Structure 1
Amino acid sequence: MRKRFFIRLLVLLLGYASQAQMGVMSTADSLYGHGNFTKAIYVYKTLEDQDLVADKIAKSYLAIGNYDAALNYYKQRVEAHPDDALSIYEYAKLLSRTKHYEASIAQFNTLMNIDFRNPNYHYEMGLALDRMDDSTAIDRFIAAYKLDDTHQKAIFKIGKYYLKKRKHEIANQYIDKGLESYANNLELISLKAQNYYYHYDYKNAQIWFEKLLEMGESSEFIHEKLSMVYAEFSEFEKAIEQRKLALKFNPLDATALFVIGTYYEKLEDFATAESYIQQSLKLKDVPLDFEYQKLGFVLNRQNKFKEAIKAFQTSIKEDPENVASEFYLLITKDKYYADYDAKVKLYEDFLKKHQDAMFSEFAKKRLKELKDERFMKE
């Protein structure tokens, strides 16, 4: 009787413990479902079987952007449940996202062994290979397409690949196939417009760039290319309108201002053309004396005095009033030249030109040192 009592008591206690664990799990799941990920992690970690909830902890860490912790828990889950394809898939994607490409590819190979006919495994593996600049990435994208010819992301990658290879007809075939199943895919429509543009088929390029505008798209690239298309057909008013829209994304684009000026010239609006071209020239005519001066400093620090002299000379050409660059040129020549007479002459010439400059006291002091050194040497 006593033995039966203890057995019943043990079963009862185990039941209570199991119910308690289920309650904790339910609480953690509720916190996760409502976006309270940090508290969900805390509650999940109180459960005894951590392998059971490692994937949920990983997802919670992923949600708050702690990728290292998410990777650790995905790894724990995968090691404990090597047949859990979903966890392996999420783990592989996160490895790729965090630039652990080779480890990611290894996990995708594991997934291929589980289900080779899953197109997403091929596509995601292709992304990892693409990020490594591995030329075999296209093979994975094509494999994904063959398994699912409506796979929009794979189609985009394939179309882009053939566009870069200048194989415009092949690119168009894939793009059209993608648009059959998703006619409003902005990425494919943009790719189609570019494909026609770079194939010099401006008539069709215009149709597809205009379609992007109709769908509410607006970017410097779209407006710039559409402007150039209109100009090809001598529709200069439309070309100006589009180039001005492109200019809003980059108001200091000297090239865009100049091109708009040339379009106004075509319309014989010479005053406006002059205005835009003048603006363009002002932006292009920015003195780079400080930049060359900085280059001279860097070269001096490396004892590349000959190159530094050229940099300071260029700085002075950019701005003849830059006394600082003249002085730095002077002391660089002082280091580079061995001839005392030549050095003395340089300092004398500098002081004649800049008697009251902020560098004149140093120049006077150095001139005296050079004369003394020359006297002692003689």
Structure 2
Amino acid sequence: MIRLIFIFLLLVFKTEAQTSVLNIADSLFAHGNYSKAIAQYKVYDNPPEVYHKIAKAYIAIGNYDEALINYEKGVETNPKNTLLKYDFGKFLYRTENFKRAAEIFNKLVYTDYKNPNFHYELGLSLEQLKDSTAQNRFFSAFQLDSTHQKAIYKIARHHLKKGHNKLADKYIDIGLSSYKNNKQLISLKAQNYYVRNQYENAIVWFEKLLELGESSEFIHEKLSLSYAQLYEFEKAIIQRELALQFSPKDATSIYVIGTYYEKIDDFKNAEKYISKALSILDKPLDAEYAKLATVLNRQKKYKEGIEALKKAVKENPANEFSSFHLAITLEAYYADYDAKIKGYEDFKKKFPNSKLKAYADERISSLKKEKFLKVEKKAD
């Protein structure tokens, strides 16, 4: 009898000791002492019960190889633990082991077909594997839970990319009906209006993103372009400047801001931005130099305009419009009639079959008459 009591007490003490080990390990984990928690879990006498905890602790310290080993042991010793398999599948996805993740989630879908998240996670893995059936999984998740925001986003984005604008709108509106501040769906809503050239509506939804604290180069750029389409160039400039904060050396944005300033007759700022863009750009720049020349000419800076146009011609000698623009600017700059005339004659020699030849002939004729009348007047 005494022997039985002794054995019973020994078992009680051992059980309490192991419970204490587990409690200490859990406490260490909860307080972020992951390595110490792992050491405690490893002395626990029922390893299958703590493999998943060890795996999570290894994830926390960035040792994914050991995490994988312990997840595999956990799944092997707990084959009916659905939650463990679900966590394992998400771990495989996060570590870009998409094929194995898809296998895990596929089994989970088979085990519990009515769980929408199993379908959604399987869809994510299939998507990474470029498997077209991913959309079927997202749709199944939506059918099982019509408020599943992540599945709705995937479906709506798919339709937007395919150009199915009405279907995209349908799913976006369904999602927003249950979560009106879903930033991802609001972004899709704005983009859906933008690609259909419905700029006023696009602005409303892009602005809503800003109200919700979102700010990105993409949002500000698209807002700027939308305002420009509506001829609201001051607002377009503000938004493009905000976009520029994300990429300060984006020559395209700098150049576009310059063209917007030109639209509102602020030629000083137009010159500033276009000149800055030209100093950064590394591509054929005939159109950009020609634009700069236009801005300079509007300020009667003809000498600078001539230099800009010479660069435009050098960038693309075959562009007859740049050469003709140069002839016009030479006429405006030079007081000497022969110099004015020579600009047009040089153009005719370079482009003898140009459609602009008739206008060049007209200007040459007019300038010769002006020169003759001026000489006659002096003689009198």
Could you state the TM-score of these two structures normalised by the residue count of structure 1?
0.73
- Give, in whole Å, the separation in 1 of the partners of 2:146 and 2:62: 33
Q: Percent identity?
A: 54
| 1:169 equivalenced with 2:166 (yes/no) | yes
| Match runs of 1:54-65 below 5 Å | 54-65=51-62
- Give, in whole Å, the separation in 2 of the partners of 1:248 and 1:75: 47
| Match runs of 1:141-180 below 5 Å | 141-180=138-177
**Matching residue within 29, 36, 40 for 2:37:** 40
- Alpha carbons of structure 1 residues 50 and 144: separation in structure 2 relative to 1, 3 Å: same
- Give, in whole Å, the separation in 1 of the partners of 2:237 and 2:139: 41
AA aligned opposite 2:186: I
Cα RMSD (Å) of the superposition?
1.6
Higher mean Cα deviation, 258-267 or 95-104?
A: 95-104
| Match runs of 1:2-81 below 5 Å | 4-81=1-78
| Match runs of 1:1-378 below 5 Å | 4-285=1-282
Deviation at 1:286, TM superposition (A): 8.3
- Give, in whole Å, the separation in 1 of the partners of 2:241 and 2:194: 20
AA aligned opposite 2:26: D
SS in 2 for 1:265: helix
Provide Cα deviations, 1:96-118, integer angstroms capped at 9, x if missing partner.
22122221111112212321110
Which runs of no fewer than 5 residues in structure 1 stay unpaired?
288-316, 319-378
- Give, in whole Å, the separation in 2 of the partners of 1:102 and 1:248: 40
Residue 304 of structure 1 is matched in structure 2 by none
Deviation at 1:7, TM superposition (A): 2.0
- Give, in whole Å, the separation in 1 of the partners of 2:219 and 2:144: 33
**Corresponding pairs, count:** 286
Which runs of no fewer than 5 residues in structure 2 stay unpaired?
285-313, 316-380
Deviation at 1:187, TM superposition (A): 1.0
Deviation at 1:5, TM superposition (A): 2.2
SS in 2 for 1:7: helix
AA aligned opposite 2:160: L
- Give, in whole Å, the separation in 1 of the partners of 2:61 and 2:150: 26
Could you state the TM-score of these two structures normalised by the residue count of structure 2?
0.73
Provide Cα deviations, 1:332-367, integer angstroms capped at 9, x if missing partner.
xxxxxxxxxxxxxxxxxxxxxxxxxxxxxxxxxxxx
Runs of 4+ that moved beyond 2 A = none
Deviation at 1:65, TM superposition (A): 2.0
SS in 2 for 1:272: helix
SS in 2 for 1:203: helix
Residue 369 of structure 1 is matched in structure 2 by none
- Give, in whole Å, the separation in 1 of the partners of 2:33 and 2:168: 45
- Give, in whole Å, the separation in 2 of the partners of 1:212 and 1:234: 22
- Give, in whole Å, the separation in 2 of the partners of 1:150 and 1:27: 40
AA aligned opposite 2:261: Y
- Give, in whole Å, the separation in 2 of the partners of 1:285 and 1:143: 49
- Alpha carbons of structure 1 residues 215 and 80: separation in structure 2 relative to 1, 3 Å: same
- Give, in whole Å, the separation in 2 of the partners of 1:27 and 1:280: 63
